[in-house]
Amino acid sequence: MRGIIWQTKRFEYEDESKSEKPQGIEKLSELSKGRKIFTDVVCIWLCIEKGDKDDYLNSLFLRFYDLNQEFYKSKKVLILPFAHMSNNLEEPAIAKEILDKAIKIFNQKGMPAERASFGTHKSVLWEIGGSIAEASYFEFPHQIRKPPVAGKSDF
């Protein structure tokens, strides 16, 4: 599981067309009509990968919660399916189920959340400020990488 958390002043999206890839997504696509507009919302662009576990959703909530307490002070969340961050995507039906579980967890923990349409290509318009921690990338499980050592090579 990986994604980016963005604090936005305003976020808008409109479905343009249904996705055709990966295989099996067509029957799950939710093409909605009209432009959806949100103000002062934290957007979580979420990519579900093969092998992702439900406990990653708790880690995601804690990551959001910490950022929200210290920086964002938001009262709502929009989770956006975002398959473009991985070439190891989960099957569409399972990915959609995990996204819906994320919404349920956020709502159960007192943070109003909703999900953008699944399986569609969207046009988006967003306004972001210039504050600290405005964007935060995450991966679960955390990938610890050793920094490169000057003058050394893996080759």
Give which of 78, 61, 64 is closest to 8, Cα–Cα.
78
* Distance between CA atoms of residues 36 and 32, nearest Å: 9
Q: What mean pLDDT, rounded, does the chain reach? A: 90
In a domain, 155, yes or no: no
Peptide linkage before 141 cis (omega within 30 of 0)? yes
In a domain, 40, yes or no: yes
| Structure-token pair, residue 27 | 């029957």
In a domain, 144, yes or no: no
**pLDDT digit string, tens, across residues 28-77:** 888 888 999 999 999 999 999 999 998 999 999 999 999 999 999 999 99
pLDDT at 149 over 90: no
| Structure-token pair, residue 129 | 């400020």
Query: In this structure, which long-range contacts are made by residues 140-146, counting pairs with CB atoms below 8 Å and at least 24 apart in sequence?
Result: 140/1, 140/2, 140/52, 140/56, 140/59, 140/60, 141/56
In a domain, 150, yes or no: no
In a domain, 146, yes or no: no
In a domain, 154, yes or no: no
* Count of domains observed in the chain: 1
Provide the CATH number for the domain around residue 12: 3.50.80.10
Q: Give the H/E segment covering residue 150.
A: none
In a domain, 109, yes or no: yes
Determine the structural domain holding residue 52 and report its residue range. 2-139
In a domain, 119, yes or no: yes
